[in-house]
Structure 1
Amino acid sequence: MVTVQTEQGFIRIASDVFTIIAGVAATNCFGVKGMTVRSVTDGLVHLLKRESMGKGVHITYNDNGTISIELHIAVDQGVNIPVLCTNIIEEVRYKVALATGVEIKSVDVFVDSMMIG
């Protein structure tokens, strides 16, 4: 949870807010098939449904009040992965900062799977 101080008082923002904003921003980028999670039991990567995409986003709270975001995604076949990841990083950084006012230290994108077809 992050606490933001304003002139009127304090605002506390839960980690679910960050995961939802980041997940929606990432999945709205062209070429992203969805968020992924690696199964603990079988080690396989699974595509998450839209309502549970927050499991593919990990938020780390840094000591200086900033956050770091880690995204696990599946991409469409044939996309330029470096260009796509750069777009995702910019979009997530912008959307999260705009909605919350919290400074983003880093956004890391992990391409766990490529969807064929």
Structure 2
Amino acid sequence: MTIKADLGFINIAPEVLADIAGYAAMSCFGVKGMTIRSVSDGIAHLLRRENMSRGVRITEAEDGGVNIDLHLAVEHGVNIATVCRSIISEVRYNVEKMTGIDVKNVDVYVDAIRAD
């Protein structure tokens, strides 16, 4: 992602945006972790903190900015809609604040519910 500034251009790697979005999502109440679906068995697996960005997909929007997809697991017993609204707000705020890039869309996919 390239941003035009007054004195030149700033390049921000998608991996950096994925890390920011992943850490922001993990800070929300009710989130157990980021997930990734296994190709072999189709089951969602919980990722460790160092691999958290694998549960995030960043794409550039057509009219500038980025779209963010988050795959995660939530705690058993929480209101999923409320948790997802909190995640969307937190991710959008942190990415825009830290990078200055406009976040067009944040999609949250709840792949698992964990009771442990």
Please report how far the alpha carbon of residue 57 of structure 1 lies from its aligned counterpart in structure 2 after TM superposition.
0.2
Counterpart-to-counterpart distance in 2, 1:48 and 1:79? 20
Please report how far the alpha carbon of residue 42 of structure 1 lies from its aligned counterpart in structure 2 after TM superposition.
1.1
User: Which 4+ stretches in 1 moved above 4 angstroms?
Assistant: none
TM-score (norm 1): 0.97
Q: How many residues align?
A: 116
C-alpha RMSD over aligned residues: 0.6
TM-score (norm 2): 0.98
Is residue 12 of structure 1 aligned with residue 11 of structure 2? yes
Give 1:85-96 correspondences, 5 Å limit: 85-96=84-95
Give 1:25-104 correspondences, 5 Å limit: 25-104=24-103
Matched-pair identity in %: 53
Give the letter aligned to residue 80 of structure 1. N
Counterpart-to-counterpart distance in 2, 1:84 and 1:63? 28
Counterpart-to-counterpart distance in 1, 2:107 and 2:62? 18
Unaligned runs of 5+ in 2: none
Give the letter aligned to residue 24 of structure 2. A
Please report how far the alpha carbon of residue 65 of structure 1 lies from its aligned counterpart in structure 2 after TM superposition.
1.6
Task: Single out whichever of 29-38 and 60-69 deviates more from structure 2.
Answer: 60-69
